[in-house]
Copies of this chain bind each other. A is one copy, B any other.
Amino acid sequence: MTKELGIGIIGTGFMGKAHAFAYRAALAAFPDIPAPRLEMIADVEEGLAARAAHQYGFARSSASWRQLVNDPRIDVVSITTPNTLHKEMALAAIAAGKHVHCEKPLSPSLAESAQMVEAAEKAGVVTQVGFNYIKNPLLKLARDMVAAGELGEITGFRGIHAEDYMHDPDGPYSWRIDPVGGPGVIADLGSHIIGMARFLLGPITEVSADVRTVVKSRPVGRGAKERKDVLVDDVARILVNFGRGCGGTIEANWIATGRKMQLGFELTGEKGSLVFTQERLNELLFYKAGGDAKTAGYARIEAGPQHAPYGQFCVAGGHQLGFNDLKTIEMGEFLRAIGGGERAGPDFREAYEIQKVVDAAIASSSARGWVRVG
């Protein structure tokens, strides 16, 4: 196995920092992975890049992402820029033989994502996309329980990812709702819950959706009188069919006033059920049918070292993981895959499959009926 991997991060914002935390923690958590060597961080604003390099412990900084992707000491590139930039950066990094981690959504359009998948697979590099929430040890438990048949035949899934950062109709127009970046909430949050559904239950084969813009216009700036039409969706409600035969619903919503992180699901099987919400990410509710009726009930499972890889962070239960720990698991798995270990993904192809569901839902909403995915 490779002993060390040179790391480069493009972008110093929310996700750039999260990647930095994760790379800094990854080896401490996972002794079996190649050691990340923090080589370079890039940002169009040179000062930001330099400051970030110091703060996050990277050897060098650059205002040029091209310099970064072509640096011979760099083996791994993390792309944390706005998604309109992903394709160009990813293709360049792949062309330079780098392994690539890219934040989601992969790109504004399915066609662009297809190019990225093709390039990556042709080059044989390892890719990963930032669907961090499924790295939760309790979601791995959930997936394993489903796979082991502990819930029996699965009969339903009811998923949602709702937050409220766009709920105020007087919140100003921004890059986030510029259609050049692709769809709205269905791509931004919807991709998380669609990915989670796929992680747990496998492919979604068919959708019938209502994807709509609720806040029809927004001020051109904070407090501005002039308003601009909003062209992307605020809420997506989707009826889904899974390839395994069961049905479900999925909602993505960024105007869900009050919700900061309502990413969750109820997953129902003939023999049991699971309930999860990222609002309490260290808990999983489990109901097992057939027990003593007097004392049956949803058990609140608390994350602990019995749920790998929680124990890599803390040997005692109840201490709890946070968001940045999920990101560390994600990076640990990515580096392990590059080192020759299991490719846990989700890789570019999986992100592309998720995007197909997004696209099918949008098409379905226009067609006002069911549409097959892909």
Q: Which of B18, B27, B304, B322 contacts A322 (CB 8 A)?
A: B322
How far is it, in angstroms, between the C-alpha of A155 and the C-alpha of B241 when the chains are bound? Answer: 26
From B241, B249, B319, contact of A323 by CB (8 A): B319
Q: Which residues of B contact A279 (CB under 8 A)?
A: 302, 318
Cα-based distance from A308 to B168 in the complex (angstroms):
24
Given A28-B56, A260-B304, A370-B368, A286 and B297 touching (CB < 8 A)? yes
Closest to A170 in B: B270
Minimum distance in angstroms from A61 CB to a CB of chain B: 14
Q: Which of A25, A318, A369 has the most C-beta atoms of chain B within 10 angstroms of its own C-beta? A: A318
CA distance A20 to B159 in the complex (A): 37
Stretch of A69-77, A104-112, A309-317, A333-341 on the interface side: A309-317
List B contacts of A363 (CB < 8 A). Answer: none
Tell me which residues from 21 to 35 in chain A have a Cβ below 8 Å from any Cβ of chain B. 21, 24-25, 27-29, 31, 35
Contact A302 B14, beta carbon cutoff 8 Å? no
Asked if residues B237 and A249 are in contact (CB atoms below 8 Å), the reply is yes
Asked, given contacts A208-B368, A247-B237, whether A297 binds B294 with beta carbons under 8 Å apart, the answer is no
- Enumerate chain B residues within 8 angstroms of A370, measured Cβ to Cβ: 368-369
Which residue, of A168, A300, A321, A322, has the highest number of chain B Cβ atoms within 10 A? A322
Given contact pairs A237-B239, A258-B273, A301-B297, A281 touches B28 in the complex (Cβ within 8 A): no
Residue pair A261, B318 in contact (C-beta under 8 Å):
yes
Interface of A is mostly: mixed
Q: Do residues A319 and B261 form an inter-chain contact, with CB atoms below 8 A? A: yes
A271 to B164, CA, bound (A): 11
Report chain B residues within 8 Å CB of A20. Answer: 28
**Cα distance, A281 to B286, chains bound together (Å):** 21
Residues of the B chain whose Cβ atoms lie less than 8 Å from the Cβ of A134: none
The reply to whether B239 and A317 form a contact with Cβ atoms under 8 Å apart is: no
A198-211 near B? 1/0 per residue, CB < 8 Å: 00000000001110
Smallest beta-carbon distance A245→chain B, Å: 9
| B-chain residues with CB within 8 Å of residue A239 when the two chains form the complex | 208-210, 237, 239
Chain A residues engaging chain B, CB cutoff 8 angstroms:
14, 17-18, 20-21, 24-25, 27-29, 31, 35, 51, 54-57, 141, 145, 151, 153, 155-156, 158, 160, 163-165, 167-169, 208-210, 212, 214, 234-235, 237, 239, 241, 246-249, 251, 253, 255-261, 266, 268-273, 278-282, 286-289, 293-302, 304, 306-307, 313-325, 367-370
A-B contacts, 24 listed (Cβ < 8 Å): A17-B28, A31-B55, A155-B234, A156-B235, A158-B160, A208-B208, A208-B368, A208-B369, A235-B247, A237-B249, A239-B239, A256-B273, A257-B268, A257-B269, A257-B270, A257-B287, A258-B273, A279-B318, A282-B322, A286-B297, A288-B295, A294-B306, A298-B299, A368-B369
Q: A167-B268, A261-B319 are in contact. List 15 more A-B contacts (CB 8 A).
A: A21-B29, A28-B56, A28-B57, A167-B289, A208-B368, A212-B247, A249-B251, A258-B289, A259-B273, A261-B317, A286-B295, A300-B300, A313-B322, A320-B322, A322-B324
